[in-house]
A and B are shown apart, each in its own frame.
Chain A
Amino acid sequence: MNEWNPFRSLAAGTNPANDTPAYRSTAFRHPTAPLVKIPQTVTEISGPRFSPAHFPPMSDLSTVNGRAALGERIIVAGTVTDEDGRPVPNTMIEIWQANAAGRYDHERDQHDAPLDPNFHGEGRVFTDADGHYRFISVKPGSYPWRNHPNAWRPNHIHFSLFGPGFATRLITQMYFPGDPLLALDPIYLAVPAGARERLISRFDLALTAPEWALGYRFDFVLRGRSATPMEAG
């Protein structure tokens, strides 16, 4: 097993389909022709490396200039591993989210909920040598969107991961346990049952900071490598 082994194909039932009518924005954005399967080459097996020198970590989303954002302070932590449980070390994780009132600090978000001068909503962390990551934030609020009448997004945090190769790129969203909006959300429900539950974080008392913040654990699993190296020679 080495860095030139290609990544295994995704198991059926892992990802949502881009043609998901219940999520209205997919209607004119999903391709109609089937994807063309190509063998992985150096282009797909290698991937970008981000150094904290060029891409400085931002692991505390809960303050701006030392002033605390409003909302329920949370610690989010977990691991990044591959399907075989191998840690993915030193990989960059990008984070973005709405504030505690359910409003993004973004010009296109016109939801009638207050902005918080002490919350921006961008984070960036790197896994350590054992694949662990951790950051501090506030619990994002729910917000309405116009997908269907009275549509509300469940509380969620957006994540962007790179992993070891171009083929392991992942954009996803983390949800919170017990959220009644999950059962009504076409974006969450687009993921096949049996896989969508992986997107729900776990409340973890051991991760809380007493008198200070609640703790949620969320582990990412990226594609594993196949047992045989890329055919050579």
Chain B
Amino acid sequence: MAGVTPSQTIGPYWHLIGHDEWADLTRFGAGGERITLSGRIVDGEGLPVSDAAVEIWQADPPADDRFPGYGRAATDAEGRFRFTTIKPGPVPGRGNSLQAPHLALTLMARGLLVGLVTRVYFAGEALNDTDPVLAAIEPAPRRATLIAAPDGPGAWRLDIRLQGPDETVFLEV
């Protein structure tokens, strides 16, 4: 059995493979309820993380020729990122369970030797109360770090804190 290739940091110059249009998952003409997801990433000193690559992946709606299901955005000088996508619906979980609508989010940056993985849920979804991943997070108040808040019509916002008292919950998948 061959050993898995280890992870290394994406470093500060990953923008060489960056393409702004990748942040718009609707660019190939996908139909559905279009939303934006934006947020701001700060470090343990509260300073903006201005060189991060943020990626989202969603299992719903299913990816096809018009909807890649995947996007990548660069954070700006203030640590802000922004995606345009189609709002996901519920996704099957293990057994007969149903997961609340969510996106997977990966964060890579200089100073991160391994990318950080989290999820983005949407405030007000009834299924949030029974979602198995949210339920696995203790203490319960930390679950809020994964739940995006409405930020205007069709707009959602989730800020991410890499370190400190309100640290975002990161997942091992």
- In the assembled complex, A85 has its CB within 8 A of some CB on chain B: yes
Choose one: A18, A85, A231; the contact of B113 (CB below 8 Å).
A18
Which A residues are in CB contact (< 8 Å) with B43?
28-29
Choose one: A37, A105, A219, A221; the contact of B16 (CB below 8 Å).
A105
**CB nearest neighbor in B for A47:** B57
Which A residues are in CB contact (< 8 Å) with B106?
166, 169
Which B residues are in CB contact (< 8 Å) with A104?
13, 16
Q: How many angstroms from the CA of A182 to the CA of B55 in the assembled complex?
A: 30
Q: How many angstroms from the CA of A106 to the CA of B74 in the assembled complex?
A: 14
Which B residues are in CB contact (< 8 Å) with A95?
17
Q: How many angstroms from the CA of A223 to the CA of B110 in the assembled complex?
A: 23
**CB nearest neighbor in B for A194:** B3
- In the assembled complex, B144 has its CB within 8 A of some CB on chain A: no
Flag if A29 contacts B13 (CB, 8 Å). no
Flag if A109 contacts B137 (CB, 8 Å). no
Flag if B59 contacts A46 (CB, 8 Å). yes
**Chain B interfacial residues counted at CB < 8 A:** 68
Which A residues are in CB contact (< 8 Å) with B9?
23, 25, 171, 173, 187
Choose one: A15, A122, A232; the contact of B17 (CB below 8 Å).
A122
- In the assembled complex, B6 has its CB within 8 A of some CB on chain A: yes
Choose one: A16, A121, A221; the contact of B114 (CB below 8 Å).
A16
**Given A94-B17, A221-B3, A31:B111 Cβ within 8 A:** no
Stretch at the interface among A64-72, A195-203, A206-214: A195-203
B139 to chain A, nearest CB (A): 11
**CB nearest neighbor in A for B102:** A43
Q: How many angstroms from the CA of A35 to the CA of B63 in the assembled complex?
A: 28
Q: How many angstroms from the CA of A17 to the CA of B17 in the assembled complex?
A: 25
Flag if A29 contacts B59 (CB, 8 Å). no
Residues of chain A touching chain B, judged by Cβ–Cβ distance below 8 Å, are: 10-11, 14-18, 20, 23, 25-33, 35-44, 46-51, 54, 81, 83-85, 94-96, 98, 104-106, 108-109, 120-122, 124, 158, 160, 166-167, 169-173, 187-188, 190-192, 195-196, 198-199, 219-224, 230-233
A-B contact pairs, 26 of them (CB 8 A): A14-B3, A25-B9, A27-B44, A28-B44, A28-B163, A29-B44, A29-B163, A30-B111, A31-B163, A38-B172, A41-B59, A43-B57, A44-B104, A81-B2, A85-B1, A85-B2, A96-B13, A104-B16, A158-B10, A166-B106, A167-B173, A171-B10, A171-B115, A198-B6, A219-B2, A223-B4
Residues of chain B touching chain A, judged by Cβ–Cβ distance below 8 Å, are: 1-17, 28, 43-45, 47, 49, 51, 55, 57-59, 63, 65, 68-70, 91-96, 99, 102, 104, 106, 108-116, 119, 132-133, 136-137, 142, 162-164, 167-173
Q: Which 5 A-B pairs have the closest CB atoms?
A: A25-B111, A48-B70, A28-B44, A29-B111, A35-B172
